[in-house]
A and B are shown apart, each in its own frame.
Chain A
């Protein structure tokens, strides 16, 4: 028994001599091509180590004769993307704002590029949904149809480029409402507050002639006789439902007493013209855009319908 080799009866193959629950392992030789596959992977590995960065050193790793690196690949990819984007950015630069919507591809690029730029530069004040950081906080909602300085493409581009009440910039949008706390008495301010809340439909009641005269003397020069505001001064419409700083009595009183002077930086020096164009088109597309773009759609409504169907 001692000299007997372990031979499996069924196959005639030697076993390795182990046994688990009556199951024995046959000592079948491996196919030779399998060994070749192993050698092939070893050769592959050696070639790979020579060609590519492999061995870690103290500060970096071996470079590999191909000189490949993931950072280099990234640079190459970035360059390729920039090269690919160059023609469409050039087309955006040379096309007038009002014409861009006619070219679907340009428009798409502009909206997407504008959306991306908005998320970097504008969300801090206007919020990621462009509806202002908080209602009534003084950061205007760009989705609505109320525009202090105009909501057509040219006005939007001007606002973005030159900013609002931007100090040290001559072309910025400028308007000044006096702080009436030093000019009018508390009762007068309260009366004006009630008057404004009445013309905006927030409360009902009779307004005295004295208050009407008070409004005409102090407010109408900017906000208009009927309180509907005026874009030449960036004066808000006091009769509508949208309030930049809140429409309740306390908020309106504070506004009259102390005046509010929101500031938006000018982006002209920081962003290039194409980015500003894209931002303009994006903001215009949010739903409150006015005038000229809609005019193009009007002119060619059938085409717009067909275009949407694409």
Chain B
């Protein structure tokens, strides 16, 4: 690289302080949409743990609960047990394909509207405007020397931020324990250390990320924009400055004097002023753009004021941009959204969802697993019978106790008895009471005459003795092997 012709090494700055971003308040269609998304997502996040759901005396009454201690996940009437974790995997796959779908259709909509970093930053900026005033007042305050007034404003802003941040961390732990109990324990000092730790960490992260790091998170920390940007194609709707219509930029006065030389952009900088990541959309697509479309609102407002058509900055695809540049008409939005790629994504996404719903309706709530004890394989009894030992696991996944018969079939002259019982007290079946919402493990002894095949297949099954929800749903059964000594 040591080219003698290359310029002398400049004093390049290795590190730069963050340039302050003071987004201006704006009103418009996308701003109102963003308000709506914020209201819905925050409401879901803060309120969900407080929704009650009566599951009877054997299961918690919280509608959405991740019960780590008992390894259950409750979501309204759906309960997920650890061995059903594939539902969570399915949801993750749906989330992934959903991201493909949304990104290929409308670009980085996740970044602009639904990402927690965006939502809380937006909320914090609103608080900031409430305390310090809009963009100009904020810049003025930032440049002002520290005094009582500045300190008071900053302090009250930070207190409100801290309150929101604390509430955010507090809501998170409510998903993992009974919310009213946890709240009481939390304030009484009786909650687990991990609860306080989690609230502390989440409060700090929300406060710092939402209050101070903001767009730095999007640009330098988050891998998501790189991935999402790679999933866009020339048919995805993204926020676009239509330079073929806007350039040459010039003030209204200049443009009036010489209409042919100037485009619609009057260089008022409103699109830059409202941008929460502080970029200039007129420089084209860039990593800092989260496609929140506030610049569209700002520009549309200005266009309305100066009596020019809206949409100088607008959602537009690369393909349509080319068409419009050469004077054609852009495709209608619906046609942009409904194209093979998005339809295929939607089909995959939908079929996974339907398949999950179907299996959710079909799954058995009384599960049996039988394991043949291998050490020893069999035991010779003194009267010539041979005994095999089995470990039986019965999962009663309903939130009520069950009466169940455990039976064996296909093994002649078999005797069955539980390890605490006595041989001969039971024939080839025994009755069990299964606790609600739990696993019953028992050792089962089965004896049969010793003069038979070395290995014999038979069946251990369950039969519900109580009324069965859903009508004729049968109990589970399992094929197992009976071992005998070689004769």
Cβ contacts B330-349/A at 8 Å (1 or 0 each) = 00000000000000000000
The answer to whether A241 touches B380, judged by C-beta atoms less than 8 angstroms apart, is yes
Residues of chain A within 8 A (CB-CB) of B384 are: 201, 241
Residues of chain A within 8 A (CB-CB) of B374 are: 129
* Whole-angstrom distance between the Cβ of B5 and the nearest chain A Cβ: 4
The answer to whether A18 touches B375, judged by C-beta atoms less than 8 angstroms apart, is no
Tell whether A30 is near chain B: CB-to-CB under 8 Å. Answer: yes
Residues of chain B within 8 A (CB-CB) of A79 are: none
Interface of A is mostly: loop
The answer to whether A297 touches B422, judged by C-beta atoms less than 8 angstroms apart, is yes
* Whole-angstrom distance between the Cβ of B434 and the nearest chain A Cβ: 6
Tell whether A171 is near chain B: CB-to-CB under 8 Å. Answer: no
Q: In the complex, identify which listed stretch (A140-148, A188-196, A260-268) lies at the interface while the others stay far away.
A: A140-148
Q: Given A144-B379, A285-B419, decide whether A29 and B12 contact each other with a Cβ distance below 8 A.
A: yes
Q: Which of A285-304 contact B (CB under 8 A)?
A: 285, 287-288, 294, 297-298, 301, 304
Q: Which of B210-246 contact A (CB under 8 A)?
A: 213, 216, 220
Q: In the complex, identify which listed stretch (A4-12, A40-48, A92-100, A158-166) lies at the interface while the others stay far away.
A: A4-12
User: How distant is the Cα of A7 from the Cα of B16 in the complex, in angstroms?
Assistant: 18
- Considering residues B381, B383, B425, which has the most beta carbons from chain A within 10 angstroms of its beta carbon? B381
Interface of B is mostly: loop
Q: Which of B340-381 contact A (CB under 8 A)?
A: 374-376, 379-381
Q: Given A31-B15, A32-B17, A309-B432, decide whether A131 and B379 contact each other with a Cβ distance below 8 A.
A: yes
Q: Which of B392-410 contact A (CB under 8 A)?
A: 401
* Whole-angstrom distance between the Cβ of A13 and the nearest chain B Cβ: 10
The answer to whether B376 touches A34, judged by C-beta atoms less than 8 angstroms apart, is no
User: How distant is the Cα of A33 from the Cα of B376 in the complex, in angstroms?
Assistant: 65
The answer to whether B216 touches A305, judged by C-beta atoms less than 8 angstroms apart, is no
Tell whether A74 is near chain B: CB-to-CB under 8 Å. Answer: no
Tell whether A58 is near chain B: CB-to-CB under 8 Å. Answer: no
User: How distant is the Cα of A173 from the Cα of B15 in the complex, in angstroms?
Assistant: 86
Tell whether B81 is near chain A: CB-to-CB under 8 Å. Answer: no
The answer to whether B379 touches A298, judged by C-beta atoms less than 8 angstroms apart, is no
Q: Nearest A residue to B9 by beta-carbon distance?
A: A17
User: How distant is the Cα of A66 from the Cα of B434 in the complex, in angstroms?
Assistant: 51
The answer to whether A32 touches B5, judged by C-beta atoms less than 8 angstroms apart, is no
Cβ contacts A112-132/B at 8 Å (1 or 0 each) = 000000000000000111110
The answer to whether B376 touches A129, judged by C-beta atoms less than 8 angstroms apart, is yes
User: How distant is the Cα of A129 from the Cα of B6 in the complex, in angstroms?
Assistant: 80
User: How distant is the Cα of A294 from the Cα of B376 in the complex, in angstroms?
Assistant: 22
Residues of chain A within 8 A (CB-CB) of B421 are: 294, 297, 301, 304
Tell whether B10 is near chain A: CB-to-CB under 8 Å. Answer: yes
User: How distant is the Cα of A141 from the Cα of B380 in the complex, in angstroms?
Assistant: 9
The answer to whether B432 touches A298, judged by C-beta atoms less than 8 angstroms apart, is no
Residues of chain B within 8 A (CB-CB) of A297 are: 420-422
User: How distant is the Cα of A116 from the Cα of B373 in the complex, in angstroms?
Assistant: 18
User: How distant is the Cα of A30 from the Cα of B450 in the complex, in angstroms?
Assistant: 80
The answer to whether B382 touches A31, judged by C-beta atoms less than 8 angstroms apart, is no
Tell whether A1 is near chain B: CB-to-CB under 8 Å. Answer: yes
Tell whether A255 is near chain B: CB-to-CB under 8 Å. Answer: no
The answer to whether B375 touches A3, judged by C-beta atoms less than 8 angstroms apart, is no
Residues of chain A within 8 A (CB-CB) of B422 are: 294, 297-298
Tell whether B415 is near chain A: CB-to-CB under 8 Å. Answer: no
Q: Given A145-B381, A240-B382, decide whether A306 and B419 contact each other with a Cβ distance below 8 A.
A: no
Tell whether B418 is near chain A: CB-to-CB under 8 Å. Answer: yes
The answer to whether B15 touches A32, judged by C-beta atoms less than 8 angstroms apart, is yes
The answer to whether B435 touches A144, judged by C-beta atoms less than 8 angstroms apart, is no
The answer to whether B431 touches A144, judged by C-beta atoms less than 8 angstroms apart, is no
Residue from B1, B382, B401, B445 within 8 A of A241 (CB atoms): B382
* Whole-angstrom distance between the Cβ of B130 and the nearest chain A Cβ: 26
Tell whether A77 is near chain B: CB-to-CB under 8 Å. Answer: no
Tell whether A35 is near chain B: CB-to-CB under 8 Å. Answer: yes
Residues of chain A within 8 A (CB-CB) of B12 are: 14, 27, 29
* Whole-angstrom distance between the Cβ of B290 and the nearest chain A Cβ: 17
Q: Which of B1-54 contact A (CB under 8 A)?
A: 1, 5-7, 10, 12-18
User: How distant is the Cα of A14 from the Cα of B13 in the complex, in angstroms?
Assistant: 11
Residue from A3, A31, A131 within 8 A of B16 (CB atoms): A31
Residues of chain B within 8 A (CB-CB) of A35 are: 15
Residues of chain B within 8 A (CB-CB) of A101 are: 420
Q: Nearest B residue to A4 by beta-carbon distance?
A: B7
Tell whether A2 is near chain B: CB-to-CB under 8 Å. Answer: yes
Tell whether B466 is near chain A: CB-to-CB under 8 Å. Answer: no
Tell whether B200 is near chain A: CB-to-CB under 8 Å. Answer: no
User: How distant is the Cα of A283 from the Cα of B7 in the complex, in angstroms?
Assistant: 88
Q: List 20 A-B contacts (CB under 8 A).
A: A10-B283, A18-B1, A34-B220, A127-B376, A129-B374, A130-B376, A141-B376, A145-B423, A240-B382, A241-B383, A241-B450, A285-B419, A288-B379, A308-B418, A308-B440, A308-B442, A309-B401, A309-B433, A309-B435, A310-B435
Known contacts A31-B17, A310-B440, then 9 further A-B pairs from the complex at CB < 8 Å, ordered by chain A residue = A10-B283, A29-B12, A31-B16, A32-B16, A144-B379, A240-B383, A242-B380, A287-B389, A305-B432
Residues of B with Cβ closer than 8 Å to A?
1, 5-7, 10, 12-18, 213, 216, 220, 283-284, 374-376, 379-384, 387, 389, 401, 418-423, 425, 431-435, 440, 442, 445, 450
